[in-house]
């Protein structure tokens, strides 16, 4: 015999199960959306978003051995970074290098999206290998900034919510890119690269005998450019000096770096022309009469 009450109860049970299934589906979908949103909020660029490899072991403009790294930005963002630390290995072990020994340390650079930039490390006699770290700035999400603001207002210790140790100052969020260890011994090389700031080793070596230069500043600076392989920029003030400059050492020249130094000394002492800005492969000459007078006293 058909029981209408039983049918009503069965329909109610089915309806409740369907409502529960829809509710479970809704909350499950909401959870997926929240997890995805959280990933986008908290996700930050990491070391895996960059490539770092050794592309060169050459001499710089002054004749010092340099190790050149290519750092590649694989993200779609422009990144500000800096060479934060350098260590060299000798017979006594690893040594942390001071800032004054590495011209490119703590110098911020912009690594444009999907591009590469060169980073140099200068070595000293006795260094068998080098390694280092880059730091790059990370952008805080709006949620992170609010959380930091609340932590600051609550008086929580800096170490609990900030990133100390940044080359730009404490509380600046940063990540670390390790630069692989590179040996200093072996044949010089420079791999093909699209990185900005890569310069080849000097292509000209001074002769061992009869090394001499005589001419106006423009001629001497051309010789300097050829000898060093550097990008030479000349301030218009240099044209104020029109006399001849002579570079005639009384001994044989053995190293590129010595020939470069002799030219620099002659320009300064005879004409008051000095280097006013210099990094690994860029130099600027300007006129400074005071340098000449000071040398002659």
C-alpha closest to that of 116 among 79, 58, 72 = 72
Contact 56, 183 (CB under 8 A): no
- CA terminus-to-terminus distance, the chain: 128
> Residue 69 has what pLDDT?
93
> Residue 297 has what pLDDT?
46
> Residue 221 has what pLDDT?
84
DSSP state at residue 196: B
Contact 286, 273 (CB under 8 A): yes
DSSP string, 197-226: T--PPPS----SS---EEE-HHHHHHHHHH
Instruction: In whole angstroms, give the CA distance from residue 87 to residue 133.
Output: 9
- With a CB cutoff of 8 Å and minimum separation 6, the contacts of 272 are 241, 287, 288, 289, 290, 291, 292, 293
Report the half-sphere exposure of 250 (CA within 13 A, side-chain side): 0
Instruction: In whole angstroms, give the CA distance from residue 262 to residue 248.
Output: 9
Q: What does each C-alpha distance from 182 to 85, 138, 197, 202, 268 come to in angstroms?
A: 15, 27, 19, 21, 37
CA 129 to chain centroid: 19
CA 237 to chain centroid: 32
Q: What does each C-alpha distance from 289 to 253, 278, 285 come to in angstroms?
A: 28, 20, 13
> Residue 90 has what pLDDT?
92
Return the SS3 of 119.
Answer: strand
> Residue 290 has what pLDDT?
65
> Residue 110 has what pLDDT?
84
pLDDT per residue, tens digit, the chain (297 aa), is 555 555 556 666 667 777 776 766 665 555 544 444 443 444 456 778 899 999 888 887 677 888 999 999 988 888 888 899 999 999 999 999 988 888 888 777 888 888 898 898 989 889 999 999 999 987 765 666 666 666 667 666 655 555 667 777 766 778 889 999 999 988 888 887 888 767 554 444 555 556 788 888 878 887 887 776 667 788 877 877 777 888 888 877 767 777 888 888 888 888 888 887 655 566 788 887 665 655 554
Instruction: In whole angstroms, give the CA distance from residue 98 to residue 81.
Output: 19
Kindly report whether the global pTM for this prediction surpasses the value 0.85. no
Pairing mode of beta strands 174-183, 273-278: unpaired
In this structure, which long-range contacts are made by residues 121-125, counting pairs with CB atoms below 8 Å and at least 24 apart in sequence? 121/66, 121/67, 121/69, 121/83, 121/86, 121/179, 121/182, 122/60, 122/64, 122/65, 122/66, 122/280, 123/64, 123/65, 123/66, 123/67, 123/88, 123/184, 124/88
């Amino acid at each position: 015999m058909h029981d209408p009450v039983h049918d009503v109860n069965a329909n109610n049970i089915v309806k409740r199960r369907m409502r529960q299934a829809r509710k479970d589906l809704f909350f499950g979908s909401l959870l997926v959306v929240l997890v995805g949103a959280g990933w986008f909020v908290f996700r930050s660029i990491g070391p895996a978003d960059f490539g770092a490899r050794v592309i060169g072991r050459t001499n710089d403009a002054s004749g010092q051995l340099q190790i050149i790294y290519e750092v590649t930005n694989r993200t779609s963002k422009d990144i500000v970074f800096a060479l934060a630390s350098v260590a060299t290995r000798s017979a006594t072990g690893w040594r942390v290098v001071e800032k004054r020994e590495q011209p490119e340390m703590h110098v911020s650079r912009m690594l444009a999206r999907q591009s590469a930039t060169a980073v140099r490390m200068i070595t000293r006699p006795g260094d068998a290998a080098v390694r280092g770290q880059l730091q790059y700035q990370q952008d805080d999400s709006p949620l992170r900034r609010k959380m930091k603001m609340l932590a600051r207002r609550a008086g929580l210790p800096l170490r609990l919510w900030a990133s100390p140790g940044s080359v730009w100052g404490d509380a600046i969020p940063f990540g670390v890119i390790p630069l692989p260890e590179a040996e200093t011994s072996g044949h010089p090389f420079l791999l093909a690269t699209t990185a900005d700031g890569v310069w080849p080793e000097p292509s000209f070596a001074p002769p061992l005998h009869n090394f001499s230069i005589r001419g106006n500043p423009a001629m001497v600076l051309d010789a300097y450019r050829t000898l060093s392989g550097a990008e030479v920029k000349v301030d218009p003030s240099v044209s104020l000096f029109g006399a001849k400059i002579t570079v005639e050492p009384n001994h044989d020249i053995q190293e590129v770096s010595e020939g470069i130094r002799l030219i620099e000394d002659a320009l300064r002492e005879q004409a008051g022309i000095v280097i006013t800005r210099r990094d690994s492969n860029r130099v600027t000459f300007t006129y400074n009469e005071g340098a000449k007078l000071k040398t002659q006293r």
